[in-house]
Structure formats: structure tokens, C-alpha cells
Amino acid sequence: MNLSTNPSRSTWRKIADSRLINALAAPNGMGRYLEALNPMWSLDQNRIPAYITAIHRETSDSVTLELSPNGDWPGFRSGQFCQLYIEINGRLHSRSYSLNRRAGHLAITVKAQADGLVSKHINSKLNVGDIIRLSPPMGDFVLPVQLPDAMLMIAAGSGITPIMAMVEAALKKGYQGGITLLYYNRSEADTIFIKRLQELASANQHFSLLPVFSDGSSELSGHFNQHHLLKALSFQNTLSAHTAAVSLPECFVCGPESLIQAVSEEYKQFGHAEKFHAERFKPVINVSGNTEVVGKLAFKSSQCEVSSDNRNLLEQAEAAGLQPQAGCRMGICHSCSCLKTEGSVRNMNSGEISHGEEYIRLCISQPLGDVSLAI
């Protein structure tokens, strides 16, 4: 029985959705029985099972997993990410990973973070044949449908993953503009996709690679600065003799906050803030965590009440022993959306305060006084 193709999956879904079958399969539903027979037959479209078909070591601390999801996988736009769900020591964890293609397969590339639970597990414990689960793709940091005349890509470390997907997709489409990639790493050996990027650059006159290694082995050195920007632009002929006349290309940045801020400042300074696009892998908390918070936090469905503090509601729920769904933990993926039935919260990214019944993202909400949540 093959459930991996769309036609047979839709037939199974119709059967599973029928009232009679659901009544016979109660209380778990047909989908659960299929999943018990073979995890790849799951009908859960929010946690789509995917086989690991190959594992490639990229650097000493990063790997690429080639994946074969079941027929529910909807495809993705270059630059998007998904939530990866994985069980570690009996507990389900979820993290965001950018989507890519490798040898025609869906792929993700994961850099092991020091003390990182999921990224280290993926780097050292997974094997070909293991099954992980993926959410449908999400995110609007994507390659534009109408490609601009020139693009400047800037990445550091694992921030290359969405950028690589965009560069490869643009070149595959036969892009005739210029793409320059400024790419920051400690050394060549630490650089994810370095061989593929070098090959792309030598095979394609529309793509220039400017690596910046902090070990001093590259032409450019140090952190991003205006000199790096002007050097990158000189590859695209968008630079006139006087820097005031620079027409900046559409820019896509993914890396640490300091890099994102530095590039954003340059784009603002040259009056091209609208051409600047960034993706963050780590949250930026703008609101001071020192706000004194006194109150009660009630989790209604779990029939649990605790004294609240100034951490975000996701951390407080977890500290209270709950296991709410979560993904990016920075307000992007909406996995942690939850109904607040009473009370006021502060959005820790924008500082905005809101009151009463509403859906909030737990990971970026700080309680102000008594708060009740539906979970």
C-alpha cells in the first residue's frame, strides 16, 4: 500500500473524513490508526512526516539533512522556513529551520549551537531512515516573484541557509541581473556551503562571492562596514564615482543582530531603507526585562495558577510544567498563539500593551498584572 502520492492520499483523506469511518475509529480517528501502521501515512498536515534520505556534513559543526516528506508536503518559496518537530528524551521539541533543495530533495542545514539542545541532537544523533516532522512552510523573507535588477545578499554563519536557497533559485531561473554575496565566517573551514558557492561563482558570471574570514585569510576583513558595502557594489556596476550617487540594490540579510543593524544603518543612510530585508534566527527583545510585574497567571484548561514574573508567558507556562506548542520563540511562526481570556500583556517586540480577550503569542508577551490563558 503506497500512501506517498497525492491521489491515494486524497482518497485516504476522504475515507478518514467520512462519518462512518470516524465513528468506527473513535476515539482516535482513522488518521491515528494509519499513523500507527506507518508514521509516513500520517494525515496530519501540520506535522508532515519526512524520511531522512541522506546526511551530509558541511563543516565540523553543521550538517545537511536531505528529506523525503510524504505527499502532503506543499512545496515552499525560496527563503521560507518551517518548524521541525523532533522527540528528544520523550519530549517533543520544535525549532525553525530554513528550507533548501539538495540534489532535487528537500533539505535543511543545521549548525550545532553551543549548549543547543535540538541543533546538537540533529548534528550528532540522527541517522538515514529516521523520521522527523515538518510544519508547512512559512515566512515572507523570500525571493521576490519579480526579480530586481541587482541583489546584494549578506549572510553570516548559519544565516546562509535562506540566502543560499534564494541565490540558487534565482540562478536556476536564468537570472540576468547581478547577485553579490558578502559572507562572514571565522575561516574557510567553518563556512557552510563554501564549495557549492565557489562552484556557482566560477560557473556563473551573474554571481559574485565575497567571503570575509575573521582569521585574516580573505581579502576583506573585520565586521561589515561601508568599505565592504562599496566593495560589494563595485561588482555590480551600481556604484558611481561619488558615493552619494550610489543606487543600492535590493538587499537580503540573515545573521546576528549586530550585522543586521549595521547593514540597515547603511541602507537608511543612503535613503534606501525600503530595499532592505532581514531574517533573524534569534529574538530581539526591545522591552526592558526589568519591568516589575506582580500578579497571578491562570492556565484555565490545565487548572493551574502561579505567581507571574517578568519573563515571557511561554517561559512561565513551561516553568509551571505546561508544554504549550512553540517554534521560533521570537514572535515569527505563531506556533505559540493562545487565547488570553482576561488581563493585559505587553508585546515584548513592539512595546504595545493590549487588554482583554484576544489571541496572543506567548513567546513575546509579558504579563502586566493578573492574566488568564485558555491553555
Ligand X SMILES: Cc1cc2nc3c(=O)[nH]c(=O)nc-3n(C[C@H](O)[C@H](O)[C@H](O)COP(=O)(O)OP(=O)(O)OC[C@H]3O[C@@H](n4cnc5c(N)ncnc54)[C@H](O)[C@@H]3O)c2cc1C
Choose the stretch contacting ligand X; rule: CB under 6 A; options: 111-119, 164-172, 206-214, 339-347.
Answer: 111-119
For ligand X, the closer of residues 42 and 119 by Cβ is 119
**Is the distance from CB of 123 to CB of 192 less than 8 angstroms?**
no
Task: Give one word for 119, left, alpha or beta, with left for phi > 0 and alpha for psi -120 to 50.
Answer: alpha
Residue 136 contacts ligand X per CB under 6 A: no
Choose the stretch contacting ligand FES; rule: CB under 6 A; options: 163-171, 218-226, 248-256, 320-328.
Answer: 320-328
Find which of ligand FES, ligand X, none residue 106 binds, CB within 5 to 8 Å per kind: none
Quote the CA–CA distance of 210 and 29 in Å, as a whole number: 54
Quote the CA–CA distance of 331 and 284 in Å, as a whole number: 10
Residue 167 contacts ligand FES per CB under 6 A: no
Tell me which of 23, 26, 90, 115 binds ligand X, using CB under 6 A: 115
Q: Which helix (H) or strand (E) holds 15?
A: helix 6-17
Identity of the residue numbered 333: C
- 336 CB contacts (<8 Å, ≥6 apart)? 314, 324, 325, 326, 327, 329, 361, 362, 363
Quote the CA–CA distance of 214 and 185 in Å, as a whole number: 6
Tell me which of 12, 85, 97, 267 binds ligand X, using CB under 6 A: 97
Quote the CA–CA distance of 65 and 131 in Å, as a whole number: 11
Say how many residues touch ligand FES, by CB under 6 A.
12
Tell me which of 67, 152, 259, 332 binds ligand FES, using CB under 6 A: 332
Residue 91 contacts ligand X per CB under 6 A: no
Residue 328 contacts ligand FES per CB under 6 A: yes
Quote the CA–CA distance of 12 and 142 in Å, as a whole number: 33
For ligand X, the closer of residues 120 and 311 by Cβ is 120
The minimum distance between CB 331 and ligand FES, in angstroms, equals: 5
Residue 109 contacts ligand X per CB under 6 A: yes
Supply 19's cell numbers: 462519518
Tell me which of 336, 338, 345, 360 binds ligand FES, using CB under 6 A: 336
Residue 22: count of CB within 10 angstroms of its CB = 16
SS3 content of the chain, % helix, strand, coil (to 5): 30, 30, 40
What mask of x and - would describe binding to ligand X in positions 276 to 315, judged by CB under 6 A? ---x-xx---------------------------------
Q: Using DSSP, state whether 107 is helix, strand or coil.
A: strand
Quote the CA–CA distance of 286 and 218 in Å, as a whole number: 35
48-59 vs 353-355, strand pairing mode: unpaired
Residue 361 contacts ligand X per CB under 6 A: no
Residue 82 contacts ligand X per CB under 6 A: no
Subset of residues 248 to 267 that bind ligand X, contact rule: CB under 6 A: none
Tell me which of 15, 21, 117, 320 binds ligand X, using CB under 6 A: 117
Cell 528528544, residue?
88
The minimum distance between CB 225 and ligand FES, in angstroms, equals: 32
105-111 vs 131-134, strand pairing mode: unpaired
Find which of ligand X, ligand FES, none residue 118 binds, CB within 5 to 8 Å per kind: ligand X
Tell me which of 102, 111, 340, 346 binds ligand X, using CB under 6 A: 111
What mask of x and - would describe binding to ligand X in positions 188 to 227, judged by CB under 6 A? ----------------------------------------
Taking alpha carbons only, the member of 256, 208, 371 closest to residue 305 is 371
Residue 280 contacts ligand FES per CB under 6 A: no
Residue 360: count of CB within 10 angstroms of its CB = 20
Residues that bind ligand FES (CB under 6 A): 326-329, 331-336, 361, 363
Residues that bind ligand X (CB under 6 A): 81, 95-98, 109-111, 113, 115-120, 139, 158, 161, 279, 281-282, 328, 330, 332
